[in-house]
Amino acid sequence: MTHHIPIEEATIASIQEGYRTGAFTTREVVQAYLDRIETVDRAGASLNSIITVSSTALAEADALDAAFAASGELSGSLHGVPIVVKDQVETAGIITTFGSAATGDYLPAKDASAIARLKASGAIILAKTTMPDFATSWFSTSSKSEVTKNPYDLSRDPGGSSSGSAAAVAANLGLVGIGEDTGGSIRLPASFCNLVGVRVTPGLISRTGMSSLVVPQDTSGPMTRTVMDSAKLLDALVGFDADDDYTSVVAIARHAGSYTDGLENATLAGKRIGVLREAFADSSDPEGAAVNAVIEAALSRFVAAGATLVEVTIPRLMEMVGFTSLYFSRSLQDMNAFIAARPELGVTSIDALYEAGKFHPKLDLFEGIATGPKSMKDDPDYLDRTLAQGEFQRSVLAIVAEHELDAIVFPDTKLPAPTHEDVYSDRWTCLTYPTNTVIASQLYFPAITVPAGFTDSGLPVGIELMSVPYDEGRLLKVARGVEVATAARRAPSLPTT
């Protein structure tokens, strides 16, 4: 095929409209993305965001084209949507590495439940994306793939742990992406790469077939260029899974209809937005001041769009975030249980990998987990941490109720994306980097990051919107209003040869 396939900044709607009108086929779209992976990820900018490309993607595209030709109808809401997936989620027929060189050529026998739901909706898993070893960093350092480049500045990191999904979707190497979020692993890289990233209330999306750092806190979720595309992915992803009892919360959420309902025309008019300034950077830090300036400019656009801003304070915010963290209480237990259930991985445990030195040396979180308690019962503070989490949740729920807020906003991180040198020189490590994404994570609240703008040096800045559990529908509408008000998404300029 010689004519141009318009994949740059494409949306699910624009691609599927092309299918309906006969402008192009699913095979042509998939091939266009495969070609772009070769010219941008493997060559050109050499982003290094893709680990493994599916060997069956074109055949799956042909099957969808044949079905469409026979029926004249699309095969599901995600018909012909090529998706890049973080390599933390198991995919039948595609090697899954969990970002670790030690896992070899592990080929899962079945798809993770979330992947099965995407496929049932007509999606095509195009490729698996880079990540740090077992998702243990805010950065891309990985024993499997080394580092991934940020499409907006190749000397900088795209963020972690959904590093490859962020870089690939930002650079138009896939139509949409899937990441995973424990403490911010969807939202932090999305903010560094000018994307929309969604963390749902844990349990709405099944974790079956996905390695977790903290089982009750983890969730996979969308990484997209638009809020609408995230909503469309959620329509497929959210639902009960008998193999993951945490998904029983869908009976509490009682979500009906589509997450896209009323979304297209959503605005900020009449919305009440809490501004959490204690999560802003110290303005005396030039890098922090640059982020603050972008956020303040975005907030002024909120007001111009009809929103009411309310200054809010969360009591003992960072103290509560730190104390309620369970990485060093139960992560080793949860990660080892996942590994033990998969003897074919060729890995016995996280602590065994640590003792053998089989992990990337710039993973201080991995080291802390591997040398920490083998069971949450071994942490003498575990009960107090759990009780404090309930107190933390109630304090924030009270703020939302008292001020009748639609969302609370703050910068995803206090600084822009660090350089690779920052990471390798230990200027910043996972445990010292000032990210705010942990706030929603420790609360078990849903949150969405939306592009807010760029610093004067051209680095993307995301603004995080946090709401109360099971409020994803309203939160998406606020995010859509922010998207319209800021109009901050733009594609990176990348070499292709």
The three-state (H, E, C) secondary structure of the chain, written as one string: CCCCCCCCCCCHHHHHHHHHHCCCCHHHHHHHHHHHHHHHHHCCCCCCCEEEECCCHHHHHHHHHHHHHHHCCCCCCCCCCEEEEECCECECCECCCCCCHHHCCCCCCCCCHHHHHHHHCCCEEEEEECCCHHHCCCCCCECCCECCCECCECCECCCCCCHHHHHHHHCCCCCEEEEEECCCCCHHHHHHCCCEEEECCCCCECCCCECCCCHHHCEEEEEECCHHHHHHHHHHHECCECCEHHHHHHHHHCCCCCCCCCCCCCCCCCCEEEECHHHCCCCCCHHHHHHHHHHHHHHHHHHHCCCEEEECCCCCHHHHHHHCCCHHHHHHHHHHHHHHCCHHHCCCCHHHHHHHCCCCCCCHHHHHHHCCCCCHHHCCCHHHHHHHHHHHHHHHHHHHHHHCCCEEEEECECCCCCEHHHHHCCCCCCCCCCECCHHHHHHCCCEEEEEEEECCCCCEEEEEEECCCCCHHHHHHHHHHHHHHHCCCCCCCCCCC
pTM for the full predicted model: 0.98
CA distance 372 to 321: 19
Q: 176-181 and 219-224 as β-strands: parallel, antiparallel, unpaired?
A: antiparallel
How many Cα atoms occupy the beta-carbon half-sphere of 52 within 13 Å? Answer: 26
CA distance 135 to 132: 5
CA distance 88 to 397: 32
Residue bearing tokens 């099957």: 63
Residues 461/416, Cβ–Cβ less than 8 Å: yes
From the list 313, 323, 310, 354, the residue with the least C-alpha distance to 336 is 354
Look at residue 497 in the predicted model and tell me its pLDDT.
73
CA distance 52 to 483: 32
CA distance 191 to 246: 28
Look at residue 2 in the predicted model and tell me its pLDDT.
45
Distance of alpha carbon 191 from its chain centroid, rounded? 10
Q: CA–CA distance from 42 to each of 50, 124, 149, 468 (Å)? A: 8, 21, 12, 41
Look at residue 496 in the predicted model and tell me its pLDDT.
81
Look up residue 258 and give its two tokens: 């589509």
Residues 209/183, Cβ–Cβ less than 8 Å: no
Look at residue 257 in the predicted model and tell me its pLDDT.
95
Q: Tell me the pLDDT of the chain (497 aa) as tens digits.
A: 447 899 999 999 999 999 999 999 999 999 999 999 999 999 999 999 999 999 999 999 999 999 999 999 999 999 999 999 999 999 999 999 999 999 999 999 999 999 999 999 999 999 999 999 999 999 999 999 999 999 999 999 999 999 999 999 999 999 999 999 999 999 999 999 999 999 999 999 999 999 999 999 999 999 999 999 999 999 999 999 999 999 999 999 999 999 999 999 999 999 999 999 999 999 999 999 999 999 999 999 999 999 999 999 999 999 999 999 999 999 999 999 999 999 999 999 999 999 999 999 999 999 999 999 999 999 999 999 999 999 999 999 999 999 999 999 999 999 999 999 999 999 999 999 999 999 999 999 999 999 999 999 999 999 999 999 999 999 999 999 999 999 999 999 998 87
Look at residue 75 in the predicted model and tell me its pLDDT.
97
CA distance 231 to 217: 21
